[in-house]
Amino acid sequence: MEKLSRKDLWSLEEYSERRVQFRNEVMAHKKNRQVALGEHARLYFEDPITIRYQIQEMLRIEKTFEAAAIQEELDAYNPLIGDGSNWKATFMLEYSDPGERAAALTRLLGIEDKVWVQVGNCEKVYAIADEDMDRENDIKTSAVHFMRFELSVAMIAELKAGSLLQMGIDHANYPLSPVTVTAQVSQSLAADLDDV
């Protein structure tokens, strides 16, 4: 997939005018780019549209208009866009109660390395998590992780041919049966991958 550049972004003034409509479009787009993994975990798959929205929002919040600062945001967020042979996702552990969340983050230490995707009868592919920085310590994991799933040529071909896509977590403290991804989400994610 193409990375974003300054030509893909609106000025602060133009974004202000387009923001409500663009946000609505992005929220609708995101519905087909997320997968719930049980009650408390979710994968949000990123692409140029979702990342463009994040960058535009950051520029707006920080009132950034200088070329160098805009480029810094692009450099920070572009690595979250897949490369045509992989998916990049934000993995979130979602607990509304702070006490329950703190206990879960301790209990789920290492969960980020146990998240997987599987196409058809191919082998499971486990996430490569947090390449930019460690998000856990010896005591607890983070509620947010950034992941990359590298797919083989065979997996991409099978997915584009309509094979079943499943996702899951193999962590002893988060029992979960494999999740079958809906056709809409599967098609959206398949579109991120280069033709083989």
122 neighbors 158 (Cβ within 8 angstroms): yes
pLDDT recorded at residue 93: 97
Helix (H) or strand (E) holding 66: none
| Distance of alpha carbon 74 from alpha carbon 111, whole angstroms | 29
Q: Does residue 20 sit in helix, strand or coil?
A: helix
Is the separation of the CB atoms in 91 and 196 below 8 Å? no
Supply the pLDDT for residue 136. 64
Segments making up each domain of the chain, as ranges: 6-190
- How far apart (Å, rounded) are the C-alpha atoms in residues 43 and 146? 9
Torsion of CA 53, 54, 57, 63, to 10 degrees: -120
Helices (H), the chain: 12-30, 48-62, 67-77, 98-107, 153-160, 183-190
Is residue 109's pLDDT more than 90? yes
Neighbours of 187 (CB within 10 A): 15
Give this prediction's pTM: 0.90
Q: Which tens digits make up the pLDDT trace of 153-191? A: 999 999 999 999 999 999 999 999 999 999 999 999 999
pLDDT, tens digit (0-9, with 9 covering 90-100), for 29-71: 999 999 999 999 999 999 999 999 999 999 999 999 999 999 9
Q: What is the mean pLDDT of residues 11-31?
A: 96
Supply the pLDDT for residue 2.
84
Task: Report the distance separating Cα 104 and Cα 108, nearest Å.
Answer: 6
